[in-house]
Amino acid sequence: MAVISLIIPVYNVERYLARCLDSVLNQTYTDWEAICVNDGSPDGSRAILAAYQAKDARIKIVDKENGGLSDARNKGLEQARGEYVVFLDSDDFIHPQTLEFSLALAKANGSNIVTWYKDPYYRLTTILRRKLGFDVDKKLPKSYYKRYQLEKVNQLTTSDVFAHFTEQSHSNIKMPLKHFYVWRFLIRRELLSDFQFIKGITFEDFPWTSELMLRNKGRITITSLPFYYYYPNEGSIDLSTKRARKINDWITGLEHAYKLYEAEAEESQRIRWQRQCMWVVVRGRIERHLKEIREEDLCHSLARRLQSVVELGCLDHPFDARSKACKERILAFVEQHLPPSQ
């Protein structure tokens, strides 16, 4: 039985899949299984998976009808047998030392979760090179070949994850655990036994990661290692989803996470999650983009969703001038696009 299970959802990524799988095969730690969930890909992704599986039995293929990213990740979790789990998107890739270092830190620090971050330059330089006409699909950055020393890794191990967990890009938090990226963790699999990704929505990372932090009762090791290479795939969910759909899905995730924290979180956890995570999502992912919606039927639909958010109590406790102003703008949007009788 492998120690680490990598879960790789696969859908229409024939241009990038080989690079992703090569980065797994190139790991300096070798006791892993890669569960590749073919989510009904109509392109050549399935054939690429079969070719890699023929070369290395650690590559495992799970075929299913198309159900979206959340459903594919849930299916991968069902098949995982490793002590730890790592999520990897199939148009991205990871540094060769990712598994070695994260597992070593988990063992050394007694941590249930170890984190890393994305390379800060790869996405921007790739976008620029693409605009200049360069072939970027197979290009590996120089940082991919850099080798790190474990004893020199900047790290922090804590049992108080909410002192570091934030969606804020800039904060005064020491060693912040920024943003809701499910691909930035090595996670002890037993933590994931009783909850799943919400099916049918995009940006499922927010409610899932919020729940993961609440479920974890042990230690977490935070590092700033730039081990993940996030590829700006123009066909990805983030870049291709329409704005109204994005807002709707963020609202769904917000409602799910808010109910969970109201029911199960300690008061200090709930307050910090709301201030450092929830209100950042409300301001930056929902309210900020409402003005971009022009069609009245979409505005009406979103106003109904936001009314449910208000009635749930999500906006009851703005804590600073920005959150108070955000609340007022949302209330004004609801009043403008939803008659009082509705």
| Closest listed residue to residue 247, CA positions, set 300, 290, 204 | 290
Pairing of strands 117-118, 219-223: unpaired
**How much is the pLDDT for 341?**
60
Q: How many CB atoms lie within 10 A of CB 267?
A: 7
**How much is the pLDDT for 95?**
98
Q: Which residues of 211-238 are buried (b: 16+ CB within 10 A; e: fewer)?
A: bbbbebeebbbbbbbbbbbbbebeebbe
Distance, CA of 279 to CA of 315 (rounded, Å): 8
Q: What are phi and psi of 36, to 5 degrees?
A: -95, 110
pLDDT in tens, 20-34: 999 999 999 999 999
**How much is the pLDDT for 235?**
61
Distance, CA of 49 to CA of 332 (rounded, Å): 51
Which residues are CB-contacts of 17 (< 8 A; sequence separation ≥ 6)?
10, 45, 48, 49, 90, 91
Which stretches of the chain drop beneath a pLDDT of 50?
239-240
Distance, CA of 213 to CA of 160 (rounded, Å): 10
Instruction: State whether residue 151 is helix, strand or coil.
Output: helix
Distance, CA of 278 to CA of 207 (rounded, Å): 10
Distance spanning both ends of the chain, measured CA to CA: 56
Which residues are CB-contacts of 58 (< 8 A; sequence separation ≥ 6)?
2, 32, 33, 34
Distance, CA of 65 to CA of 86 (rounded, Å): 23
| Closest listed residue to residue 17, CA positions, set 231, 205, 200 | 231
DSSP H stretches of helix in the chain: 17-25, 45-55, 69-79, 98-109, 122-131, 205-215, 237-240, 243-264, 267-273, 279-281, 296-312, 321-337
**How much is the pLDDT for 236?**
54
Q: Domains of the chain, with CATH numbers?
A: 4-239 (3.90.550.10), 243-337 (no CATH)
**How much is the pLDDT for 54?**
98
Q: For residues 292 and 331, is the Cβ–Cβ distance under 8 A?
A: no
Task: Kindly report whether the global pTM for this prediction surpasses the value 0.75.
Answer: yes
Q: How many CB atoms lie within 10 A of CB 257?
A: 26
**How much is the pLDDT for 238?**
53
pLDDT in tens, 86-123: 999 999 999 999 999 999 999 999 999 999 999 989 98
**How much is the pLDDT for 240?**
40
Instruction: State whether residue 67 is helix, strand or coil.
Output: coil
pLDDT in tens, 48-62: 999 999 999 999 999
